[in-house]
Amino acid sequence: LSNRFTHFADRLMAAVDEKNSCVVVGLDPRLDLLPAELCPDPAVAGYYPETAAEFIAEFNRQVIDLVAPYAVAVKPQIAFYEQYGWAGLRAYAETIRRARRAGLLVIGDIKRGDIGTTAEAYAVGHFDHLGADALTVNPYLGSDSLVPFLRMCREKGRGIFVLVKTSNPSSRELQDWPGGGQALYRRVAELVREWGKELRGACGYSAVGAVVGATHPAEAAELRTMLPDCVFLVPGYGAQGATAADCAACFAPDGSGAVVNSARGIIHAYRPGGGQEEVTDWRGAIARAAETMRAELERVRRR
């Protein structure tokens, strides 16, 4: 399944089976939390985007090797790179290449949503040039904003995860807004089903997935029923407060159909207080955090 033109959901579900893991590691590196060994003075580095980007790329190289045995995919959040301008985007591209070489799938967390030729430019840029296997997308502009992404799902074995119910508290403002008796996120879920129905792989899941926050277990259960063919990308585990038990509703009865992301809780596991404290064995802390997350989720998934 190393051929990138293989259906995305087939590649993802095969990785889950092979590695006995549904762990996605969020590569959202924060300069002020890097080990001092890699970044001696974050405040200074912050003024030099090229330096900051190099520190981050080097950190990611090491994180990728540390988590590769335990994770099926990485999910770099592009904002943490884009904030350093072109040098940051170069680090983002390098991170993607490195993760792919380590046998990990790459979900670019870009949450783009735009129309016509703009959507086309995003799809080409992020799938072809930058090389992501899958991307997160925002549905607010509707179907025509997804056309180029869906074509790449069909023709090139790529995937998308549509924002349906996000993990943050304010997600209720629009996503839970009741229309004609049902919340907006259910309307989005109907569209996700429509967009994905012709794009199912051999495993039964579609290349069109959904982002469903672990912080909303009741909504997740409801969406799991509505979207049996849809892989869920689940944020909210760890630093955002959701536990493995909160993720349970995101899985199908057979334990398939969802992957769970954690960023800070893994890549900055050596700073549990979030501060600037001295750290020893940061590499061990990262590997152990990924291994622990895998074990906790496997217990839930195989219940």
Give the nearest distance from C-beta 173 to a second copy in angstroms.
4
Q: Is the dihedral of CA 124, 129, 130, 131 positive or negative?
A: positive
CB 42 within 8 A of CB 49: no
Nearest CA among 60, 68, 46, 66 for reference residue 93? 60
User: The tokens of 86 are what?
Assistant: 């072109």
User: The tokens of 230 are what?
Assistant: 């849809």
The alpha carbon of residue 296 and the mean position of all alpha carbons in its chain are separated, in whole angstroms, by 19
83 contributes a contact to a second copy by CB under 8 A: yes
Q: Residue 159: what are its φ and ψ, rounded to 5°?
A: -135, 160
Give the nearest distance from C-beta 110 to a second copy in angstroms.
9
Q: How many alpha carbons lie under 13 Å from residue 204 in its C-beta half-sphere? A: 7
Nearest CA among 254, 212, 207, 205 for reference residue 228? 205
276 contributes a contact to a second copy by CB under 8 A: no
Give the nearest distance from C-beta 135 to a second copy in angstroms.
12
Measured from the CB atom, the residue of 109 and 291 that comes closer to a second copy is 109
Per-residue binding string, a second copy, 2-21, x by CB under 8 A, is --------------------
Among 51, 58, 61, 114, binds a second copy (CB under 8 A): 114
44 contributes a contact to a second copy by CB under 8 A: no
- Candidates 15-23, 56-64, 186-194, 217-225; binding stretch for a second copy (CB under 8 A): 186-194
116 contributes a contact to a second copy by CB under 8 A: yes
Among 2, 180, 253, 280, binds a second copy (CB under 8 A): 180
189 contributes a contact to a second copy by CB under 8 A: no
Per-residue binding string, a second copy, 61-80, x by CB under 8 A, is ----------------x-xx
111 is catalytic: yes
Query: Of how many residues is the chain composed?
Result: 303
How is residue 200 annotated by DSSP? B
User: The tokens of 270 are what?
Assistant: 């050596």
283 contributes a contact to a second copy by CB under 8 A: no
Measured from the CB atom, the residue of 41 and 173 that comes closer to a second copy is 173
Measured from the CB atom, the residue of 77 and 206 that comes closer to a second copy is 77
Give the nearest distance from C-beta 93 to a second copy in angstroms.
6
As a whole number of angstroms, the distance between CA 199 and CA 151 comes to 10
253 contributes a contact to a second copy by CB under 8 A: no
As a whole number of angstroms, the distance between CA 263 and CA 34 comes to 13
Is 240 exposed, middle or buried (CB count within 10 Å of its CB: 0-12, 13-18, 19+)?
A: middle
| Site residues for a second copy per CB under 8 A | 28, 30, 49, 77, 79-80, 82-90, 93, 111-119, 121-122, 124-126, 129-130, 138-145, 163, 166-175, 177-180, 184, 187-188, 191
What residues act catalytically?
111
